[in-house]
Amino acid sequence: MSDRILAAVMAGPRQPIDIREFDRPALPPGAALLRTARSEVCGTDVHLWHGRLSGVPYPIVPGHVSAGTLENVRGPVHGIDGSDLREGDRVVFFDVHRTCGRCRACAVHRTPTRCPHRRVYGITDSAADGLFGGWSQAIYLEPGVGIARLPDRVSVDDYIGGGCGLLTAVHIIERATLRPGDTVLVQGTGAVGLSTIALARLCGASTVIAIGAPAPRLALARRMGADLVFDLDASSSDQRLETVRGVTYGEGIDVVVEAAGSARAFEEGLMLARDGGRYVVAGHYTDAGPSTVNAHHQINRKHLDIRGCWGSEPGHFLRALTFLERYAGTVPWSAIGERTYSLNQLDEALADAEAMRITKALVDPWASA
Amino acid sequence: MSDRILAAVMAGPRQPIDIREFDRPALPPGAALLRTARSEVCGTDVHLWHGRLSGVPYPIVPGHVSAGTLENVRGPVHGIDGSDLREGDRVVFFDVHRTCGRCRACAVHRTPTRCPHRRVYGITDSAADGLFGGWSQAIYLEPGVGIARLPDRVSVDDYIGGGCGLLTAVHIIERATLRPGDTVLVQGTGAVGLSTIALARLCGASTVIAIGAPAPRLALARRMGADLVFDLDASSSDQRLETVRGVTYGEGIDVVVEAAGSARAFEEGLMLARDGGRYVVAGHYTDAGPSTVNAHHQINRKHLDIRGCWGSEPGHFLRALTFLERYAGTVPWSAIGERTYSLNQLDEALADAEAMRITKALVDPWASA
Amino acid sequence: MSDRILAAVMAGPRQPIDIREFDRPALPPGAALLRTARSEVCGTDVHLWHGRLSGVPYPIVPGHVSAGTLENVRGPVHGIDGSDLREGDRVVFFDVHRTCGRCRACAVHRTPTRCPHRRVYGITDSAADGLFGGWSQAIYLEPGVGIARLPDRVSVDDYIGGGCGLLTAVHIIERATLRPGDTVLVQGTGAVGLSTIALARLCGASTVIAIGAPAPRLALARRMGADLVFDLDASSSDQRLETVRGVTYGEGIDVVVEAAGSARAFEEGLMLARDGGRYVVAGHYTDAGPSTVNAHHQINRKHLDIRGCWGSEPGHFLRALTFLERYAGTVPWSAIGERTYSLNQLDEALADAEAMRITKALVDPWASA
Amino acid sequence: MSDRILAAVMAGPRQPIDIREFDRPALPPGAALLRTARSEVCGTDVHLWHGRLSGVPYPIVPGHVSAGTLENVRGPVHGIDGSDLREGDRVVFFDVHRTCGRCRACAVHRTPTRCPHRRVYGITDSAADGLFGGWSQAIYLEPGVGIARLPDRVSVDDYIGGGCGLLTAVHIIERATLRPGDTVLVQGTGAVGLSTIALARLCGASTVIAIGAPAPRLALARRMGADLVFDLDASSSDQRLETVRGVTYGEGIDVVVEAAGSARAFEEGLMLARDGGRYVVAGHYTDAGPSTVNAHHQINRKHLDIRGCWGSEPGHFLRALTFLERYAGTVPWSAIGERTYSLNQLDEALADAEAMRITKALVDPWASA
C-alpha cells in the first residue's frame, strides 16, 4: 500500500460522494492500520446521506462495518480474545470504538448503547480526524478498538453479508429472551430482518414467519430459515393476521420482531403478538412518523411486553462471529451482499440501497470503475 | 341472617340498580356462605354499568372484592394457608374463582389472567346462578375459592379501602421488577394509582411522583407516600417533563406506571420514562381510544421496556394481605374508601364514582337508607 | 383389543415384575383408553424398583411416558390444542395428570412441579386404582389429561427415544436462559443428557461439550450435536478443566448442565462454569450422597448462578413436540431407545438399565417373548 | 492541612500497623485530594492483615470506604451526577476506581466485579504509588473516580456506618430479585447482614428474620428491621428450621441471604430456603473451608436458585446514597460504627474487629491517641 490512501467522503447531507487522498496515519502505541477488503452501505448510510441523524460531524468517511488485513501494527496490540495481533492477520473489529464506562448510562443503568460519549466508526468522527470509516482503502484502528481474527472458515463475503445487521440480530434475539420452541415473526426482510430470521431458526424457534418485499428478498428469507413468508404488497394485514392465528391455535405469535422501520409495521406487530407475548422493536433507527396504538386492546389487556432494542455491544459482535464460524457454510449470509461497488460508484450504491433495488451494497475500495 | 337475602342487581347496561330477594343457597361440600360486611364500587363497576365489557351475563350481582364473616360452612373448608375455616371467622377471598389450569394460557404461557375460562365474582356470573357478587347481604363461596382470614390488626375498612386496586398494585410492582432505589412515577390517583404509590414507597423506590386530580386525591397521594405530586389540570405535560428531568439528572424516570386509563397519559408516560427504563401499563381496563406513538423516539432509540399488566393472581392477593397486616396502621388505605352506600343508594354511588366525586365508594348491604 | 388387558406390575421394591390381567376400564365422560404402542424404562423406574422414592403406593404399573393409538374415547375429548380427538388417532400425553392449581406451590410460587398433590403416570397411582402406567397393553387417560396428536412426521420410536428425557431437557434449556452463542457443557450422556445436547445445539449454543460414558453413548452424544466429548473413565477432572479452559479464553463454560446424578459431577461442574455463568442441576432425581463445595471459590467469588430444575410442565411437553416435528429427521432421538423388551422381559430391562448396558430400554406390551 | 500527610501502612501480613509520612501529591488535571473525615476497618481489612487475599501489593494504605471534604481540586472535576465539584465540598467516592471496560468480563459478560484489571482503594494499590487508602489524613482521588456529594441530611457517621456493607447489601437485594411481600432470612449480623436486614425491610419484604451473634448485634438487627432474631449460640439449626417453617406455612423462606462467611451457615441456608426459593451467597469473601451439600435434597428437588454475589458496582453506590438520604433519620446505620480509633490504635482496631468485640471499627486519622 502506498503512502497515499483513497477514501470516499460524504461532505454533507445530499452532497455527491467525493474521493479524497489521505496521508498514511502515524500510529501511536496500541494502534493499527487495516487494509480494507470490504465495507458496506447499510441503511444507516442512506439516513446519513439524507441528514436524518443529529450531531454528525460532516465531512465523514462512512462505512461502519468492514473487514480486512492488518497492514501495520504498532504493538503489542491484543485481540479481544487476548491473543497478539500481527501484520497480515485477517481481522474484523467492533464498530463502536468508545463508550465512556463512567456515565450513568454505562455504569448505573448498564445501557452502554445509550452512552452520550459513544463513538461509532463511519458515523461520529469527522474525516478531519482521520480514517474512521470503511469507505476507504485503509482504516485507522485506534488503541482499544475491539479487534477479532476472522475465523478461517468465514470468508470476508460471509462476514460483510451479515455485517451490522447480524450484530443487531444477536441483540434482538437476546432481548427477546427466546424460549425453546417459541414461534417468531419478523417484520422486514432487509439486512437486519434476514439475519434475525436466521438466528431465530438457529436459536430454537419453532415456526419462523417473515413479512417483507420485494420477491427476491422473500426468496432469500426462506433460504435464511423462514417457514412462511408474506409479501407485504400482495397481502393485507387482515389476511396476515388470519393466517398467523391459523397456525398458532388462534393465539398469535410468541415473539414478534419489528425490523421494518415503518409506522404501519409497528401497528401491525401489536396485533400479531399473542397475549403475554413479546415484541422487540428494532427497525426504527430513524423517525418513521407516528403510529396509532390502542393501549387497552394491544398492550394492557394483552399483558404484552414491548422491548425497544438499540445498537449493539461487544458481546453481540463476538457472538455473531461464533454463528458465522459454525453456520457460514449453510446459512447464505454472503447472499445478502448483493453487489459490490467501487469508491467511484457510491452515489449509485446509495441510490440503489434507498430504492431497495438491492438487499445490501458492498464497497471494495480497491476496485477500479 | 334470615333465609331471605337482599342483593343489588344490575339488570343490564344503564338500567337502574334493582334490589332483589334471593333464597339462602344450599351448600355443597366445601362451600361456604359469607355474610358481607363491606363490598366496593370500583371503576370496573362503572364500566359494567356502561356495558363496556364484553360477554357479561346480565343480570348480575356486582361487587368483586368484599369482606365479611363466615355464616355457614359445609366443611371441611380450608383457607389458602391450609387451616380449617369455621363459622364466625372474619375472612376475605380472591375474586377470581376459577381458571382452568389446562388451557394454553394457564399451562403453557403461565398467563392465567388471560385464561378464557376465568371467572370473577361480580362480573362473569349471572344472578340466575346465585350470589356471585358482593352487593349482597351474603355471598356464595363455591368450593375451591381462595379464602384467607383477615389478620387481626387489619380492619374491614383497611381491606376494602385497598380492595382490588391494591391487588393490582402488587401485580404492577412485581411486573415492574423494581430495583432498590428506582425512581417511580405513577400516572393516576384512583384506587390503583394510590395503592401503587404506597407499594412503590414500601418496596424501595427512592423518589415517588404522582400525576392526578382532583386536589383531595393529590393530598391522599402524598399521604400514601408520594414525594411530589402534579395536578393534572394545573400543569402542562411540558412542565411535568421538565420538572421530572430536573430531579433525575436529566434522564427521566426508572419506572413509570400508567394507572390513569387515558390515551393521553399513555403518550405522556413514554416521554417521562428514561432511556432503558420500564413502563407498566395497567390502567387501560377498557378502551380509552387511540394514542399516538413515535416508535423511534419513544421505544426503539429509548431501548424502553413497556409491559402490559392485566388482572391479578392468588399470589398477589396473599401478598397484598401481608402489606395490610404490617402497614395498615401507617398507610391510610382506609381513607381510599371515602363514603359508604346502602343497597338503595347504588345508582348514586355509580354516578359519584363516574364523576370522580369520591375516590372509592363502599357498599354496606345491611345499611338502611 | 380384547376385554382382558395385560400389564406389568411392580409389586414392591426389589420384587420381580409380575404380569397381571386387568379388566377393560369403564370410561367416564371425557376419558379415553389408549392402546399402548411403546413405553419406556427410564432411570426413574430403576429408582422405583430400588424403593428410592418416597410415598409410592405399590403395587404400581410403571411407565410414565408412552405413545399409542386411541382405542376408546368417551367424548368429547379435546386435545391440548383444542381439537376433537377420535378413536384411531395416534397420540401421546403429558404424564403429570394432576396438579391442584390451588396450593401455594401452584398458585403463589408458580412452581407446579413442587405441588404436593401432583400425580404422575407410572409413579403415583396404585395398580388397584387402574391402568395408570405404560407397561401395559392399554392406559387409562382420565378426564383432563393433556393429550396431543403425534405429528405425522414423528414416529413412535422418535417420540419414545426422546421420552421423558426430552421433556426434562426442554425445561433445562429454559431454566438455563440460554443466550445466543453460549458455550454449553453437559455432564452425563443418559437420556436427559443426550436430549440436552441436542437442544443446546438447536437453541443457539456455540461449542457444546459432553462428559459421559461408555463409548457408545459418547458416539451418540456426538451425533446429537456435541462438538467435543470426554470419556469420564479415560480422563481426569483436571484434564477436563484444562481442556475446557483452553477452548474458552481461560474462562470456563457459560452454561453447565448436570445430568449425571453423581455427587462428584456436581463438584466438578462448579469448577467448569465460568465466573458469572449458570449451572443447572437436573440429574439428581434421587439422593446420590453428599458433595463437598467451597462456597468462596465456587459460588460467591464466582458470582455463579446455580439453578435446580425439577420435573416438567405441560409447556415443556408441547415444546418438545415442536422439536421432534422439525428435527426428528436429522437428530437421532430414536437411537436413544436402544432395545425393546416385552412385558416378560422387564426384569432384564431393569437390570440392563441399571448396569448402563443400554441407553434406554423400551417396552412393547404386545411383543411375545 | 500541612504538606506532610500521616497515613497508616500495613507493611505485610501480620505485621504491626506503621504510621508514615507522605508528601502531598501533585494533582494531574481531573484529580482531587480528599481530606479524610472517617474511614473504616471492615472484615476485608482483617483478611488483608492475615494475608488471605492473593495479589495484594504490600505495603498498602488500607481503608476502602471513606468520607471527607475536598481539600484540593485540579478541575474541572465532575461528580457522578455531572455537577462541578469544588474545594470544601463534603463528598464520598466509589472505592472501585478502575475496571477496564474492554475485557470479556466487562464487555461481554457484564460482570465488571470480575474484571481482572479491577482496582479498589485500600486493597490493590501499593503505598509506593500514593495515597490510595482511607487510613490516612488525605486520599488521592485519581481522574475518573466516581465521586458524589454527601446529601445534606446524611452525616459522615451515617455514611461510614453503612459503609461497604451497605453497598454490598444493595447488590444483594438486587441479585435476590425481591418480590413484594417475600419473606427474607439473613444469616449473619455483621455490617453486611445488618444493612441487608434494613434494605429487605425497606424494599418490601414481609417477615425479616436474622441469625447472628452476639447479643448486642441481635439487638441492633431488630432496630435495623428484623422481626425475629435467632442467637446462633443459643439455638440449634434444627430449632431454627422448625421455627422458620412454623411461620412460613411449613415451606421455608422465599429469599435467604448468606452474610456470615461460615461453611456451616451455607449448609443451613440451603435447608431454610423454600422449594423454588432463592439463596444469595454474599458472605464468603475469603475461603471459609468446605461445606457438605446434598444436591438432590437441597438443590435439584428443591428447584432452588443459588446466586453468588461478588463486589459492587457504581450503581449500587449511588442507590445506597438514596437510601441513606431518605432513611438515615430512622434506620440506625450510624450505630454500626461502634467505636472510633486513631491511626495509632489500628492494631487494636483489627484485633477488636477479628474478635467480634465490636460491630464495626471506624478510623479518624486526625484523632490523637
Window 56-75 of A: residues touching B by CB (8 A cutoff) are none
D-chain CB neighbours of B319 within 8 Å are 179-181, 206
For residue B369, the model assigns a pLDDT of 59
* Measured distance CA(C334)–CA(B291) in Å, rounded: 53
User: Once rounded to an integer, what is the mean pLDDT over residues A64-75?
Assistant: 95
How far apart are the CA of A369 and the nearest CA of chain B, in angstroms? 38
Highest mean pLDDT among A309-313, C87-91, C100-104: C87-91
AA letter at D274:
R
Grid coordinates representing A1? 500500500
Say if D105 is an interface residue toward chain C (CB within 8 Å): yes
How far apart are the CA of B205 and the nearest CA of chain D, in angstroms? 8
Instruction: Select the more confidently predicted residue: C159 or D43.
Output: C159
Give the C-alpha distances (Å, rounded to integers) separating D365 from B155, C81, D7, D40, D136: 55, 73, 8, 10, 6
Name the β-bridge partners of D362: D40, D340
Write the pLDDT tens digit of every residue in A23-37: 999 999 999 999 999
Write the pLDDT tens digit of every residue in C151-183: 999 999 999 999 999 999 999 999 999 999 999
Grid coordinates representing C84? 376433537
* Measured distance CA(A79)–CA(A64) in Å, rounded: 19
User: Once rounded to an integer, what is the mean pLDDT over residues C228-236?
Assistant: 97
Find the largest Cα–Cα distance for chain C: 64
User: Once rounded to an integer, what is the mean pLDDT over residues D135-145?
Assistant: 96
Name the β-bridge partners of B362: B40, B340
> Taking the mean position of all CA atoms in its chain, how far away is CA C168?
5
C-chain CB neighbours of D187 within 8 Å are none
How far apart are the CA of A7 and the nearest CA of chain B, in angstroms? 30
Taking alpha carbons only, the member of B166, B172, B214, B186 closest to residue B321 is B166
DSSP class per residue in A316-340 = HHHHHHHHHHHHTTTS-GGGGEEEE
Which of B102-116, C288-302, D265-279, D281-295 has the lowest average pLDDT? B102-116
Selected residue of B102, B285, B301 to mutate for chain A interface (largest A Cβ count, 10 A): B301
Taking alpha carbons only, the member of B112, B24, B35, B110 closest to residue B67 is B35
Grid coordinates representing B158? 383497611
- Is C146–B318 a contact, with Cβ atoms under 8 angstroms apart? no
For residue C369, the model assigns a pLDDT of 59
Contacts with A152 (C-beta within 8 Å, 6 or more apart), sequence order? none
Write the pLDDT tens digit of every residue in C339-360: 999 999 999 999 999 998 999 9
* Measured distance CA(C98)–CA(C80) in Å, rounded: 14
Q: What are phi and psi of C79, to 5 degrees?
A: -70, 165
Strand ranges for chain B from DSSP E: 4-9, 18-23, 32-41, 66-73, 90-93, 96-98, 119-120, 138-141, 147-149, 184-187, 208-212, 228-231, 253-258, 273-281, 291-294, 305-308, 337-341, 360-363
User: Residue D290, preceding bond cis, omega within 30 degrees?
Assistant: no
Q: Which residue of chain C is at minimal alpha-carbon distance from A170?
A: C180
Q: Are strands D208-212 and D184-187 parallel, antiparallel or unpaired?
A: parallel
How far apart are the CA of B315 and the nearest CA of chain C, in angstroms? 4
> Helices A263-272 and A237-246 sit at what angle, rounded to 10 degrees?
30
Q: What is the mean pLDDT of chain C?
A: 95
Tell me the Cα Rg of chain C: 20
Which residue among D290, D300, D307 sits closest to C309, beta carbon to beta carbon?
A: D300
Q: What band does C208 get if pLDDT is binned at 50, 70 and 90?
A: very high
Say if B286 is an interface residue toward chain D (CB within 8 Å): no
Which residue among B114, B287, B303 sits closest to A308, beta carbon to beta carbon?
A: B303
- Is B181–D249 a contact, with Cβ atoms under 8 angstroms apart? no
* Measured distance CA(A316)–CA(A148) in Å, rounded: 13
* Measured distance CA(D348)–CA(C345) in Å, rounded: 76
Selected residue of C303, C304, C316 to mutate for chain D interface (largest D Cβ count, 10 A): C303
Q: Which residue of chain C is at minimal alpha-carbon distance from D300?
A: C308
Which residue among B102, B144, B313 sits closest to C146, beta carbon to beta carbon?
A: B102
Write the pLDDT tens digit of every residue in B31-59: 999 999 999 998 889 999 999 988 999 99
**Contact, B166 vs B325, CB < 8 A?**
no
For residue D113, the model assigns a pLDDT of 85
Window 244-283 of B: residues touching A by CB (8 A cutoff) are 249, 251, 258, 263, 266, 274-276, 281-283
For residue B108, the model assigns a pLDDT of 84
Residue D93's Cβ-side half-sphere holds a number of Cα atoms within 13 Å equal to 39
Taking alpha carbons only, the member of A85, A115, A88 closest to residue A100 is A115
B-chain CB neighbours of A110 within 8 Å are 276
* Measured distance CA(A276)–CA(A300) in Å, rounded: 10
- Is B308–A308 a contact, with Cβ atoms under 8 angstroms apart? no
Q: Which residue of chain D is at minimal alpha-carbon distance from A108?
A: D315
Which residue among D99, D104, D314 sits closest to A108, beta carbon to beta carbon?
A: D314
Grid coordinates representing B362? 363502599
**Contact, D187 vs D320, CB < 8 A?**
no
For residue C18, the model assigns a pLDDT of 95
End-to-end C-alpha distance for chain D, whole angstroms? 19
Say if C105 is an interface residue toward chain D (CB within 8 Å): yes
> Taking the mean position of all CA atoms in its chain, how far away is CA B250?
33
Exposure class string for C229-267: b at 16+ Cβ within 10 A, else e: bbebeeeebeebeeebbeebbebbbbbbbbbbbbbebbb
- Is D146–A101 a contact, with Cβ atoms under 8 angstroms apart? no
DSSP class per residue in B97-117 = EE--SSSIIIIIS--GGG-TT
pTM for the model stands at: 0.96
Which residue among A181, A249, A323 sits closest to C181, beta carbon to beta carbon?
A: A323
- Is B108–C314 a contact, with Cβ atoms under 8 angstroms apart? yes
* Measured distance CA(B235)–CA(D147) in Å, rounded: 35
Q: What single-letter DSSP state applies at residue D308? A: E
Q: What band does C194 get if pLDDT is binned at 50, 70 and 90?
A: very high
A297 CB neighbour count, 10 Å cutoff: 15
Say if A99 is an interface residue toward chain D (CB within 8 Å): yes
Taking alpha carbons only, the member of C168, C162, C204, C104 closest to residue C309 is C168
Grid coordinates representing D78? 465532575
Taking alpha carbons only, the member of C39, C49, C36 closest to residue C337 is C39
End-to-end C-alpha distance for chain C, whole angstroms? 19
For residue D369, the model assigns a pLDDT of 59
* Measured distance CA(D72)–CA(C144) in Å, rounded: 75
Look up the ipTM and state it.
Answer: 0.95
Q: Is B152 helix (H, G, I), strand (E, B) or coil?
A: coil
> Taking the mean position of all CA atoms in its chain, how far away is CA C355?
18
Q: What band does D81 get if pLDDT is binned at 50, 70 and 90?
A: confident
Which residue among D170, D181, D250 sits closest to B180, beta carbon to beta carbon?
A: D170
Q: What percent of chain D has pLDDT over 90?
A: 88
Q: What band does A167 get if pLDDT is binned at 50, 70 and 90?
A: very high
Length of chain D: 369
Which residue among C108, C110, C318 sits closest to B318, beta carbon to beta carbon?
A: C108
For residue A369, the model assigns a pLDDT of 60
Q: Alpha helices, DSSP H only, in C113-214?
A: 156-175, 191-202
- Is C110–B110 a contact, with Cβ atoms under 8 angstroms apart? yes
Q: What is the mean pLDDT of chain A?
A: 95
Q: Which residue of chain A is at minimal alpha-carbon distance from D319?
A: A108
Which residue among A107, A108, A315 sits closest to D107, beta carbon to beta carbon?
A: A315
Low-confidence stretches of chain B (pLDDT beneath 50): none
Q: Alpha helices, DSSP H only, in chain A?
A: 43-49, 156-175, 191-202, 215-224, 237-246, 263-272, 295, 314-327, 346-354
Give the C-alpha distances (Å, rounded to integers) separating B209 from B169, B218, B258, D159: 15, 11, 12, 26
**Contact, D112 vs D120, CB < 8 A?**
no
Window 308-327 of A: residues touching C by CB (8 A cutoff) are 318-320, 322-323, 325-326
For residue C2, the model assigns a pLDDT of 78
A-chain CB neighbours of C203 within 8 Å are 178, 180, 203-204
User: Once rounded to an integer, what is the mean pLDDT over residues C62-73?
Assistant: 96
B-chain CB neighbours of A301 within 8 Å are 284-285, 308, 310
B-chain CB neighbours of C312 within 8 Å are none
pLDDT(D1) > 80? no
